[in-house]
Structure 1
Amino acid sequence: MSLPAPRKKRRIHFDDDEGPKRSHSISSSPSTPLQKQREQLPIAKERDALIREIRENDVTILLGETGSGKTTQVPQYLLEAGLAGKGMIAVTQPRRVAATSLAARVAAERGVKLGSLVGYSVRFDEICGADTKIKYVSDGMLVRELLSDPLLSRYSVIVLDEAHERTLRTDFLIANLKSIQVKRKQATDVKGKGKCTSSAVNPLKIIVMSATLDAEKFSRFYHNARILYVKGRQHPVKIFYTAVNQTDYVDSALRTFFQIHLDQPPGDVLIFLPGQEDIESLEKSIKMHAKRLPVLVSLMYASLPPSQQARIFSATPPQTRKCILATNIAETSITIPGIKYVIDTGKSKEKRYLSKDTGGGFDTLLTRDITKASAMQRAGRAGREGPGFCFRLYTEEAFNNLAAASEPEIRRCSLTQSVLELKCLGQDLETVEFMDPPDINSVVAALKTLWILGALDDSKTLTPLGRQMASFPVEPYLARIILASSTHECTSEVIDIVSMISSSSKLFLDISDQRDAIASARSKFRHPSGDHLTILNTLRAYQEMAETENKSSRKEWCKQHFLNERTFTEALKIRDQLRVTCGRVGLDWRASKKDSEDPVLRSFTVGLVQQSALLQPDGSYKQLMGRSVVKIHPGSTLADKKVPAIIFDELVYTNQIYARGVSSVPRSYFNGATPAIPNGS
C-alpha cells in the first residue's frame, strides 16, 4: 500500500526503526499468549510516542496500516496512560459485527469479562456496565447518545475508527464532535476560573483512525490537526487479474476457488461477494461440488447470527481448506487468521437514494463496482500472516478505472433521520459544517417527508410529535406508525410488526427448488390483507409454539416452515426496547385490538403515506406521491393479487421498481391525505 511520505511539522512518521522505544510493559496483566501477541504488534513499539502526541494534541489523525494493531491497541494504550480520566473511551465502528467482535477481543486481552471494563453498544444490543471504560460502539448508537447528552459528557476520548468509509453517521459525528470539543474546552476554561460548578466540563480528545484515509482533508477540517503514521505488518501479496471482465462473478469465483483448492499449497481462502444472496448461492455450489473434498465453508455478512459469524475465527481442521464467503464487512477492522488467498469479485452493495419524478425517492442497495481503496484493503487480507495471493475477477484496466474512494453517504442516501436528529439538537442540516455538504435535493426531500409525517411544522420547526418520533430507535416513518397506533388503540400489534420488520434478518427463507413446499407450509400464516398482518400471524404462531417447546423443537419448527429463527429472537429484543420507549413517551404498549385488522392498517397508513400506490386502469400501481410506477415484489403474499391501494415498507430496484412488505388498504384511507398531509392520525 502506498501512503503519503512524511512531511515536516504536521506529520509524525513511525515505523519499525523510528520512534522512542517502550520503557515499560504495555499491561500490568500477567504474561499470556494474548499479551505476547500484543507486544509483537508493530504499533507496540510506538506506544510511548503515540501517547505523547495524543496527550499534547486535542485532535489526532492516525493512519495505521493494515495489521498494525491500531483498533485494538490504541484504546488500551489510552486507558493505561490515564487519558480516560474519570470518563470513558468510545471507539466507533461503521458495522455492528466489528464493534462486537473487537470488544470481545479486547476484553480477552485485558483478561476481563465482556461487559465489565470493556463493552459494546450496537443497535438493539448493548453489553456494558458502570465499570466500562472502553466501549466499542456503532456510529449510529453514538449519534443516538447525542440526543440525550449533546456534549457526550461521559466520554473523555472518542476514537472514530474506519473514518475513510464516510458513513452518514460518521460524518454526522465528525461535524458535531468539532463543535462539542470547542464547547467543552470553553466550559473547562470557565470552570478553571472558578465561574462554573458543572461536572461535565472535562476536555474531549478526538482521534480519527483508518488504514486508507485522505489524512490531509481530515486534518484541515480539524484546524490542521496532527497526522501520525504507523507502519503495519504486511507481507507481499501477488495480484492476478482476469484477461476479460467476468459477467457472472459468482460462477467465476466458484471456478477460481477450485483452481486454488486443487492446484495451490495449503492456506485458507477469503472470497468477497456483494451480498447475502450471492454468498448463499456460492455456498450451495461449493458444497455441491466439494462433497468428497476437504472444504469447510464459513460465512460472514451483517445479518448472520454472531455465533455463526464467530466460526470464521476458529482454527481450520487438519487436511482441510477453509473457504470464507464474506461481504465488504471483512475488508477492515477484523483480522481473520489463516487467510492466504483472496478472491475479489470487485463488487459490493452500496446504499443509494434514487430520486423519482416530483421529488420523491427511495433508498436501495445497488450492486456496484468497488473503489481502489477497497480493492487494496481486500488484497491486504491475504498478507497478514505471510506472503499471499489475490485473484481479482476483473481486468487490470478495470482496476485502473475504479474510483479512488467511495462517495460519502451524505451525498447519496436519504437524510430524513439525520435531519430529525439535528432538529432535536437545535441544528439545521443546511447550516451544519460537514466535511462534504449534502445534496440540496436530498435535504428538501427529507424536510418534506418530516413535514408530511408531522415531525416539522410549516416553518420547519420541530413539533412535539417530532421529538417523540426521535425517541424511538427506528426510522421516522416506523416511529410515526407506533405513535399513530396509540390513537387507534393497537400499539401491541403494531410494535410486534415493527419489531419484525426492523430485524436485520429476513424472516421468510426463499429456496428456489422448494417453493411449492414453502407455500404449503406457510399457508396457515397468510392474511388476506397482505404482508404486515401475515408477519404478525407468524410471530404469534412462533410465540405460541415457543411457550411449550424447547430450543431444538423451536429450531425444527422454523425449519419445517422455512422461517429464520434469528429474525424472531432479534425481533423480541427489539420489541422489549420499543416497549420501554413507549413507556418513556407515555404510550400504553399493552393497548390491543387483537381481532381487528382495520386499526393496525390505519396506523401503518399514517407512517407509509409516502410509501403507497393506487391501482390504475391498466393494472399497474402508481405512487400516491411521486407518481412512479411500481410492481408488487414476487415474494409478497399479494404478488398475484390486484387490490385498489397498497402501502409498502420499501422499494427495491432491479430491472424494475418493486414494492416489498406490502399490504392492501381501502382507498378511503387516503381521503384527505393529499401530498400536504397529515396533521393527525
Structure 2
Amino acid sequence: MITSSDYTSAQKRAGKELLPIEKFKERFLACNAPYIIVEAETGSGKSTMVPWWLFEQGNRVLVTEPLIESVVGTSEFVAGMMGVDLGTTVGYRTAAEKRDSKDTQILYVTDGLALVRALAGHNHFDVLVIDELHQWTTNQSTLEAWAWSLLQAGEAPFKRIVVLSATLDSAGLSRKRGNAPVFKIPGRQFKIVDRARGESIEADIRQLVRKGYDVLCFQPTQMAIEKCLEELQGLNAELIPFHGRLTREEKDLAYVTTYARPKVIVSTNALETGRTVQPNKNRRLAVIDSGLERRNELNNGIEGSFIRAISIAQEKQRRGRTGRVGEGLFISHCPESNRDAYPVPEMLRTQLSSTILRLAIAGFDASDLPFFHELSEEALEEGKRSLIALGAFDTNRNVTDMGRRIARLPVDVHIGRMVMEAERLGVVGDILKIAACMTVGGIRDNTGRWQRFTGETMSDALAERDVFNAISRRGYIFDFEHLGVFGKAFQQASYLLEKLDSACWNLGIKTRSSGNRLAIARALCAGMVDHLYKVGKDGEYSNPENPLMRALHHKSVLRRLPARPDWVIGQPLDLELVNKQDKKQTHHLLTMVTSINPSLLIEAAPHMVASSRRNYRFDGSRQKVRCEHVLLFNGHELECEEIEVDCELDQEGRRVWNEEMQARISRQKELAWKSFRLINRDRPVAVRGLEALPTLPEPKVFDRKSNALAYPALRIQSKAWVITWFKSSQEAAEQNSRALDAKAVLDVQEALRRAACVPQEPQTTTKTAKKPRSNKSNKRSRRARVGQTATAETPMESKLMALAAAFSKR
C-alpha cells in the first residue's frame, strides 16, 4: 500500500498535473474543528483524497455517497490509487451487494445504509464523510442533522464530521453549524466552450460526433433514453445507455476508453456525480444537457414521479463532467430559464414515515432535530398519522413493539407491516417475495411476455409472486427480456429477499407459507390500510383523502376482468410523461392493485373504523325517529342502513323529536284557536274579549284519526279554558241581573270540550239574536267566510246553539 504523499510524488515524476485539492492538504490536516465543510469543484479530487488523508491520520473513515454508482466506482478508484485490493483496506457496501472485510479502514456506503447502521448503534468509525451533500437526499439530511445534534451534546459516535460538495450553500450551512470552517477548492478544469443549442438534442449529437467528439447526454427518464437512442440508429458511433435498470456489466461499458468509434452515452442523472467518464484516446468529451430530471414529489399527500427542470447548481454539476482531462464543450437544452439556485431537498418533497420511525426508536423526535432545511409541521404530522394507522405508533405517538420490529426490516414501513401480519397468518414466505418485488418497483416489464407465468386476475402483487417464482426456478438466465422481466430489478429483488430472510430469522419469524390466498390478501391489507380505493362510474378509482380519479396501471392483471372490482387496495402513483408532441402529461395511476372485501381492512386495522349517523327524520307511521347509520373506514363509506333512534341516548334524535312535537303543538294551537273563534262568532262582547288560548302542556299521544292532541292533560286545560270563558259570560249576565242556569253551563262545557279536541265549524241555519239572516245570499256569504259548507246539525250542535241563543236573549 502506498501513501498519499507517495502517490503525489509518483504523479509529479510522471509529469502529470496534481489534483487541485492537494495544495490544501496541510491546511486541511491542521484543522481540528469537529465539523468541516469542503466546497470543491468537480474534478478537484475531494471524494478520493480527503478520505485517504483522514485514514493516514489513524482514523477509520465512513464515506457516504448518494448513488450506488458513486459508491462502487469511487471505492474501486481509491483502492487502485492506494495499491490495495478492493475489499481489504478500502471496501464498499450497498443495499444489494458488499465488498469489505474486518480489515477495511475506508468504507464507501450508500447514505441510506450509513443511516441505518448509525441509528442502530453499529458504528465503528472515527470520521463521518458525507459526499455530494448538495443533493440533500432524505438520508443525507437525516444523517447530517442526527450526527450534528449528537456532536453538540458530546455523545456523537464520530470524532469529526466532514461534508463534501461542489455546489453547496456552504455559507448558510456554516452559520447553522457553529460557524464551521469552509475550504473552497477550485477544480481541475480545462477550457469548456458553451455553445448554443441546435434544432434538437439528436441533431447536436450527430454534429458533434462528425466533429470528433465523444458525447455524454443527460436525459430525464429511461423512456427518453430509449427514444433518443432510437433516433440515433445508423449513426457511426457506440450507442451506450446508462440507467438504473441495467446490470453492472452493462454500465461498465460507459467507462471503456478503447472504442474504435466515437461513443455516445445517454444517461439519467446517475452520471451527474461520482466516477469520471473519460473520452476515448485522442478525443474530447462534449456534454449535452436536456436540463430535465425525473424526481419524486408529494402532491396532495401522494408521492409521484414528475419531470422537472434541474436547478442552476445541478446544471453546473453536469457541465463539470467535461473539461477534466482535456478541453470540453457544453450545450444546454433546458426549456426553462427561471430556475431554483439549488435543488429542492428530498425531505421537503417525499413522505417521512420511515425516517420518523427510525429516529423515534433511536430516541429522537424528528420535530426536534436541527435539520438544515426546516421541515413543515404538516409533513411531520402526516408521517406520524400514517405510523399510527399502521400500528407502528400508538395513539400517544409512542413506538409500539410492532413498530420496533418493522424498523428492523430493510423495507418501507408499509411493507414491513405486511410482514408482521403475514407472521400471524402463516404466509410470510409469499409476502417476503411480494415485498421484495414491490420495493424494487416490480419485476414485470411492459411487453406482457410475463403473462405466461401467471393466471392471476385479482391481484398484481400475487402476479409478481408468480412471475418471481417462475423465473427463480429457471436457474441462471442470460436473457431476461424475452421472459418479460426487468433483469436488474429481478436481481435486486432476489438479493433483497435474502436480506429479508436474514432479518426475519433475527426477529424469530418463520418464513414458511401456507399459500392461502385469503391470508395473503389480509396481510396485504394490513400494509395498505390508508390506500383503499372505490370504483367510480368510469371504471377509475378514488380515495376520500385524495378524490382524484386514478386508472389502473396498464400492466395490472385486473384489466383482464370484464368489470372493475368495487374495492381495491393499491399504491397511488402520479407519473409525468412527455408525449410525441413533447408536451408533459401527468397520469394518475394505481399500481400493485389487489381486489378485496373491505371487511379484511376492518380486521387488520380496527382502530381506523368509525361510524356516524345522518339524515334524521320522524317516521309518522311508527311514531319513531329514524336515521341512516354509516360504517366508515378511514373516511370510506362501507355500509349504510336505516335504524330507529333511542331519543334518550341520541341528542340529535331528541332534537328531531322535540321539533316534531313542537310543530304539532303549534298546529293544534292554531286549530284550537280557529275553533274558538268559530264557535264564539255570535257570543257576547265579554266572550270576544279573550285574545289567546291558555298554554298547552308537553304532548304525550297524537291521535292521527282526529289529527288532534287528545289526552287528559289537554282536556283539563280545555276545561279550564271553558270555565274561564263561562266566568266571563256569568259576569256579563250578573251585570244584567240575570241568573245562570248551572245545567246549561255543564252542557256548554261538554260541547266546547269536544270542539277544542276536534275543531269543526258547527253548521246551522238558526237565526242569531243580534241580527236575523234569512236570505240565501247572507247564508252563502257566511259560509264563504268560514270556509265550510252547510251540513245537517248534530244534536250537540243544536243544543249548543240553542243555549247560545238563550244567553243572547237574556
For the 8 Å contact 1:242–1:394, the answer to whether it is kept is: no
Displacement after TM superposition at 1:624 (Å):
5.8
| Equivalent in 239, 246, 269 of residue 328 of structure 1 | 269
1:510 aligns with 2:442: no
Structure 2 counterpart of 1:482, from 415, 419, 436: 419
Structure 2 CA distance for partners of 1:614 and 1:202, relative to 1, 3 Å: closer
Please list the CA deviations of residues 318-354 of structure 1 after superposition, one character each: whole Å capped at 9, or x if unmatched: 2x11011111121222211115211111101121111
User: Is contact 2:7-2:81 (8 Å) kept?
Assistant: no
Of 401-410 and 456-465, more deviation after overlay is shown by 401-410
Of residues 534, 541, 546 in structure 1, which corresponds to 2:470?
541
Aligned partner (choices 540, 558, 567) of residue 645 of structure 1: 567
2:171 equivalent to 1:216: yes
2:523 maps to amino acid: S
1:124 Cα deviation (Å)?
3.1
Aligned residues of 1:373 and 1:404 also touching (Cα < 8 A): yes
Alignment partner, residue 310 of structure 2: 370
Aligned to 1:531: 460
**Residue type at the aligned position of 2:446:** D
SS at match of 2:417: helix
Q: Tell me how far apart the structure 2 counterparts of residues 408 and 466 of structure 1 sit (CA, whole Å).
A: 27
1:61 deviation in Å? 0.8
Q: Could you tell me which residue of structure 2 aligns to residue 43 of structure 1?
A: 21
Q: Mark the CA change 1:142 to 1:37 in structure 2 (over 3 Å): closer, same or farther.
A: farther
Aligned pairs for 1:571-582 (under 5 A) are 571-582=493-504
Provide the C-alpha distance between the structure 1 equivalents of 2:174 and 2:47, rounded to a whole number of angstroms: 20
- Structure with larger RCO (C-alpha < 8 A, sep 6+): 1
Q: Deviations over 1:233-258 (max 9, x none)?
A: 11221212348xx8xxxxx2222211
| Selected match of 2:599 from 649, 652, 668 | 668
Shift of 1:625: 4.6
Equivalent-residue separation in structure 1 for 2:247 and 2:401 (angstroms): 37
Give the SS at the match of 1:534: helix
Give the aligned partner of residue 125 of structure 2: 155
Q: C-alpha distance in 1, partners of 2:109/2:524?
A: 31
Return the match for 1:273 from 219, 226, 249: 219
- Partners of 1:99 and 1:433 in 2: how far apart? 27
| Whole-Å separation in 2 of the counterparts to 1:672 and 1:349 | 38
The 8 Å contact of residues 91 and 134 in structure 1, kept in 2 or not, is answered as: yes
2:114 maps to which residue? 142
Mapping for residues 4-403 of structure 1, pairs under 5 Å: 26-27=4-5, 40-53=18-31, 56-82=32-58, 84=59, 88-149=60-121, 153-183=123-153, 186=154, 204-242=159-197, 252-262=200-210, 264=211, 266-286=212-232, 288-290=233-235, 293=236, 295-318=237-260, 320-338=261-279, 340-355=285-300, 361-394=301-334, 398-399=336-337, 401-403=338-340
SS, match of residue 588 in structure 1: coil
SS at 2:422 equivalent: helix
Distance 1:368 1:38 in 2: 40
Partner deviation per Cα, 1:212-231 (whole Å, 9 max, x = no partner): 11111111121001111222
Q: Deviations over 1:351-371 (max 9, x none)?
A: 11111xxxxx22122100111
Instruction: Report which stretch shifted further, 521-530 or 415-424.
Output: 521-530
Q: Give per-residue Cα distances to partners, 1:144-186, cap 9 Å, x unaligned.
A: 012321xx64111111111111111111111111122234xx4
8 Å CA contact 1:630–1:657 kept in 2: the answer is: yes
CA contact (8 A) 1:279 1:326 kept: yes
| 1:570 corresponding residue in structure 2 | 492
Distance 2:216 2:440 in 1: 27
Displacement of 1:28: 5.3
1:592 aligns with 2:513: yes
CA RMSD in angstroms, aligned pairs only: 2.5
Find the partner of 2:528 among 608, 625, 641: 608
Q: What is the CA-CA distance between 1:44 and the residue it aligns to?
A: 2.3
Q: How far apart in 2 are the matches of 1:657 and 1:492?
A: 32
Q: Specify the code of the residue in structure 2 equivalent to 1:632.
A: L
8 Å CA contact 1:234, 1:384 repeated in 2: yes
TM-score, structure 2 as length reference: 0.70
Tell me what 2:590 maps to.
659
Amino acid at match of 2:164: M
Deviates more, 1:600-609 or 1:565-574: 565-574
Contact 1:61/1:225 (CA < 8 Å) preserved in 2? yes
Query: More deviation in 459-468 or 303-312?
Result: 303-312
Change beyond 3 A, Cα 1:165–1:29: closer
Identity %: 25
Match of 1:561 among 469, 483, 498: 483
Tell me the distance in 2 between the aligned counterparts of 1:459 and 1:131.
45
TM-fit CA distance, 1:646: 1.4
Contact 2:245 2:486 in 1 (8 A): no
Label 1:394 to 1:94 Cα distance change in 2 as closer, same or farther (>3 A). Answer: closer
Looking at structure 2, the residues matched to 661 and 253 of structure 1 have their Cα atoms a distance apart, in angstroms, of 35
| CA contact 2:522–2:604 (8 Å) conserved in 1 | no
Q: Could you report, residue by residue, the CA deviation over 1:612-658 in whole angstroms, capped at 9, with x for unpaired residues?
A: 21223553312265443211111212235311221213423333310
Task: Measure, in 1, the Cα distance between the counterparts of 2:119 and 2:527.
Answer: 22
User: What does 1:372-451 align with in structure 2 at a 5 Å threshold?
Assistant: 372-394=312-334, 398-399=336-337, 401-451=338-388
Give distance in 1, aligned partners of 2:227 and 2:271. Answer: 19
> Bigger radius of gyration, 1 or 2?
2
* Secondary structure of 2:391's aligned partner: coil
Q: Which amino acid aligns with 1:148?
A: A
CA distance in 2, matches of 1:371, 1:490: 46
Q: 1:62 & 1:370 partners in 2: Cα distance?
A: 23
Three-state SS of the structure 2 residue aligned to 1:628 is strand
Distance in 2 between the 1:450 and 1:333 partners? 35
